[in-house]
């Protein structure tokens, strides 16, 4: 997987409608908002809150959520280190397709390895905005909406990030949001303010 190119005689076709033209029509620039953090840190909740706020402003958005992607595009992948790498590679490529269409793509994945997030950044270039959804492990375990930490502590889930597999914190995220202490409203507002500062939103 990954760098294995199995298709031959394939040519990339450039759209006659450019990304810049799409962005002009939409009234905002496109970008990848890459939310990363532990399970139950609040990634999906925050991504969806930001998407809702953007929708209210008339923006074109799409949320790529970890569980949903694994039901379809990545249903052939497990949670081994190799599969995690391929999972994030595919998401990086899909997110790029959305930005090419002038859309604000919001991704909510644990994406525990710095190297994989860096590859997603490389794929998306200046469009990539890493948002570290920071949350104390004990708070995540208290929330545990899916009961995953309980199962991981009982040894029922191998390779569980934060318990039996590592999470490598971002070293230079564009935004760090601590959901242990910030309200959802304040967190979403900070993301919107950042997009305004970057000139992605007018």
- Positions annotated as catalytic residues are 111
C-alpha to C-alpha distance for 168 and 185, rounded to whole angstroms: 26
C-alpha to C-alpha distance for 68 and 129, rounded to whole angstroms: 21
Count how many Cα atoms sit within 13 Å of the Cα of residue 48 in the half-sphere of its side chain: 6
Q: Which of 103, 98, 96, 106 is nearest to 29 (CA)?
A: 103
Bridge partners of residue 74, in order along the sequence: none
For 113-139, give the DSSP string: -HHHHHHHHHHHGGGEEEEEEE--HHH
Q: Which of 137, 116, 117 is nearest to 128 (CA)?
A: 117
Whether 22 and 101 have beta carbons less than 8 Å apart is answered as: yes
Bridge partners of residue 62, in order along the sequence: 105
CA 186 to chain centre: 19
C-alpha to C-alpha distance for 171 and 97, rounded to whole angstroms: 26
Count how many Cα atoms sit within 13 Å of the Cα of residue 114 in the half-sphere of its side chain: 6
């Amino acid at each position: 997987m990954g760098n294995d190119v199995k298709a031959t005689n394939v040519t990339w076709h450039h759209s006659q409608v450019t990304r810049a033209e799409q962005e002009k029509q939409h009234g905002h620039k496109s970008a990848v908002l890459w939310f990363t953090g532990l399970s139950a840190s609040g990634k999906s909740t925050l991504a969806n809150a930001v998407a809702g706020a953007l929708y209210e402003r008339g923006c074109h958005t799409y949320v790529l959520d970890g569980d949903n992607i694994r039901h379809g595009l990545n249903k052939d992948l497990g949670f081994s280190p190799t599969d995690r790498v391929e999972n994030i590679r595919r998401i990086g490529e899909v997110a790029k397709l959305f930005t090419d269409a002038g859309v604000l793509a919001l991704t909510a994945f644990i994406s525990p390895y710095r190297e994989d997030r860096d590859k997603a950044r490389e794929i998306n270039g200046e469009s990539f905005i890493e948002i570290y959804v920071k949350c104390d492990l004990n708070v995540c375990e208290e929330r545990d909406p899916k009961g995953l930490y309980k199962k991981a502590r009982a040894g029922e889930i191998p390779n569980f990030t934060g318990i039996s597999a590592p999470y490598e914190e971002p070293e230079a995220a564009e935004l760090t949001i601590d959901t242990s202490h910030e309200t959802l409203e304040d967190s979403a507002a900070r993301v919107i303010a950042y997009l305004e500062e970057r000139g992605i939103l007018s």
